[in-house]
Structure 1
Amino acid sequence: MKGVLMVNLGSPKSTDPKDVKRYLGEFLMDERVIDLPYVLRAILVKGIILNTRPKQSAKAYKKIWWDEGSPLIVLSERLQERVDEYTQIPIALAMRYGEPSIHQGLQELHDKGVDEVLLLPLYPQFAMATTETILVLTEQLRDEHFPEMSLTTVPPFYNHPDYVNVLSASIYEKIRNLNYDHLLFSYHGVPERHIRKSDITKSHCKIDGSCCQIPSKAHQFCYRHQCYETTRLVAQTLDLKEGTYSTSFQSRLGFDPWLKPYTDRTIEKLALEGTKNMAIVTPAFVSDCLETLEEIAMEGEEIFHENGGKNFTFIPCLNDRQDWVKTLSRWIDEWATQEQPNPQTA
């Protein structure tokens, strides 16, 4: 019997600093998030970050928390429920960090008699700290607890025409009646070393401004290339004029070089250079979360206004849009009827 496991990032149970600390501990101790040797990672996370950051993060979560709970969890549940209405096979939802856990999701499917699982990471682009960590943990849990299960993974869909069309439609709905000067595509940031570590050629990724445009097998696992390609395809679909849009990266941590340009500095620069009306979209996520609702929609707007900007438009993630729900449902049905997704078609 076939079933689907949809996996998103995760969230604290509440805005209580203790719950936030527990969540951050699990998240930041992941070797694919902070890729330092265990001892150094433990010193950094447990000795420094977890002694200061939970209270600060708890305040940020309080700004965006809904009556129903964490926006990311609530939106993920809505997406699962809506997709389930369009499909005939069981669908479980899991979070990489926090609950419901991936183990709980696999158990739910197992209890329903599922032995063929379509693993659907809810990330358009591949990254060590998102897609890869989900794949590794899911396979580990499968081998340990559900050895009879087979896994098929939906690969990154950053360039899939269906996804590009839905993302483009969501953007167009927001900007079609706007007199905007600039559209910023802001993606989650990662350390530059993650890009080099993911380079299967061990030589292509130089992060020099041109390697992402030169065809290479490395692009299959290159987060930076996939982000820029998403921007390029959407700009092409919407017929955006050169100079009216750009790409940036947000949420850096620590002192190592992260992908540039940085979103906060880009927003500031745009405002200082005279941009009065800007829109911003966050295509590294399909569900709104702390990083989109607080860091971008709130802090980003504040930076823009402080530096002379006038109108700031935040474009929501795809969340549980009807066209996105139907797209996911179609991909699932194609897999269920043996038309398996591949990097070019799903």
Structure 2
Amino acid sequence: MRQEKYGVLMVNLGTPEAPTPKAVKRYLAEFLSDRRVVDTPRALWLPLLYGVILPLRSPRVAKLYQSIWMAEGSPLLVYSRRQQQALAASLPDVAVELAMSYGQPALPQALARLLAQDITRLIILPLYPQYSCSTSAAIWDAVARSLKGYRRLPSIGFIRDYAAHPAYIAALSASVAHAFARHGRPDRLVLSFHGIPQRYAEEGDDYPQRCDVTRQALAAALDYPAEQVLMTFQSRFGRDPWLLPA
């Protein structure tokens, strides 16, 4: 009987390879061309993206990246890589690879490295605690595209999210409790989640509900009245209504 061999593909959003306008433009072009992220008809969206948004936003966004760039590189990549290394160390018999939905390390190549190890079971782990069609589902799309050229596939498991997983809530509550110990317990605790267009939620994306699941679980873990833990959304992009409150 063939012995099972597991592989884990950890996937985060992505990052420019350098904090320069050219690298940022390349990254944003890939990111904002994904229909899961922006589903405006291509005939309308792509001329706006390449003719207006990328030329104007890339230099501004590059300056923001420069303000947070680490000696080791992009913070998102640095910390995602550390997560990969920690998971690999705790699961020595499991092949663990890191990929980004956009940019490097690219998902098709990371997936190819796992399949080259003759794994029989593949776990896809999006590094998003709350599911959204614009993030987690985009990973599923990319995995499916990447697997089209393979004759033999492993069994595949996809971790949809872990909005209320005890380990995730414990990590959040420990971080918040540490802040309380330093600064005191406030009257209100404000949680800021990345936003999505309101229309996506109206069309079935349960992201706001998954964020609220996290809010309630964190309030319970902190023994905090749920009504005093507020949920807000940030990072609006474009003119369409996004989730509120902002």
Are residue 97 (structure 1) and residue 102 (structure 2) matched? yes
Aligned counterparts, 1:4-23, within 5 A: 4-23=8-27
Please state how far the C-alpha of 1:43 moved relative to its aligned partner: 2.0
Are residue 31 (structure 1) and residue 15 (structure 2) matched? no
Q: Which residue of 1 aligns with 2:189?
A: 183
SS of the residue 2:193 aligns to: strand
Deviations 1:229-248 (A, max 9, x none): 11111011101135543110
- The gaps in structure 2 that reach 5 residues or longer are none
Which letter does structure 2 place at the counterpart of 1:92? E
Which letter does structure 1 place at the counterpart of 2:135? T
Provide the C-alpha distance between the structure 1 equivalents of 2:157 and 2:21, rounded to a whole number of angstroms.
37
Range 234-243 or range 224-233, more displaced: 234-243
Deviations 1:57-107 (A, max 9, x none): 000000000000000000000110111111021100000000111101111
CA contact (8 A) 2:194 2:235 kept: yes
Provide the C-alpha distance between the structure 1 equivalents of 2:23 and 2:74, rounded to a whole number of angstroms.
12
Provide the C-alpha distance between the structure 2 equivalents of 1:191 and 1:102, rounded to a whole number of angstroms.
26
In structure 2, relative to structure 1, the CA distance for the partners of 1:51 and 1:140 (3 Å cut) is: same
The one of 170, 189, 200 aligned to 1:194: 200
In structure 2, relative to structure 1, the CA distance for the partners of 1:54 and 1:145 (3 Å cut) is: farther
CA contact (8 A) 2:129 2:162 kept: yes
Provide the C-alpha distance between the structure 2 equivalents of 1:177 and 1:17, rounded to a whole number of angstroms.
39
CA contact (8 A) 1:142 1:149 kept: no
In structure 2, relative to structure 1, the CA distance for the partners of 1:146 and 1:195 (3 Å cut) is: farther
CA contact (8 A) 1:195 1:224 kept: yes
Are residue 261 (structure 1) and residue 241 (structure 2) matched? no
CA contact (8 A) 2:220 2:226 kept: no
TM-score w.r.t. length of structure 1: 0.67
Aligned counterparts, 1:102-113, within 5 A: 102-113=107-118
Which letter does structure 1 place at the counterpart of 2:59? K
The one of 213, 218, 223 aligned to 1:234: 218
SS of the residue 2:82 aligns to: helix
The one of 144, 151, 156 aligned to 1:151: 156
Are residue 222 (structure 1) and residue 227 (structure 2) matched? no
What root-mean-square deviation, in Å, do the aligned CA atoms of Structure 1 and Structure 2 show?
A: 1.5
Are residue 47 (structure 1) and residue 51 (structure 2) matched? yes
Percent of matched pairs sharing the same residue = 38
CA contact (8 A) 1:2 1:117 kept: yes
In structure 2, relative to structure 1, the CA distance for the partners of 1:243 and 1:117 (3 Å cut) is: closer
Aligned counterparts, 1:268-283, within 5 A: none
Please state how far the C-alpha of 1:124 moved relative to its aligned partner: 0.8
Range 43-52 or range 7-16, more displaced: 43-52
CA contact (8 A) 2:81 2:98 kept: yes
In structure 2, relative to structure 1, the CA distance for the partners of 1:172 and 1:146 (3 Å cut) is: farther
TM-score w.r.t. length of structure 2: 0.93
Please state how far the C-alpha of 1:148 moved relative to its aligned partner: 2.2
SS of the residue 1:129 aligns to: coil
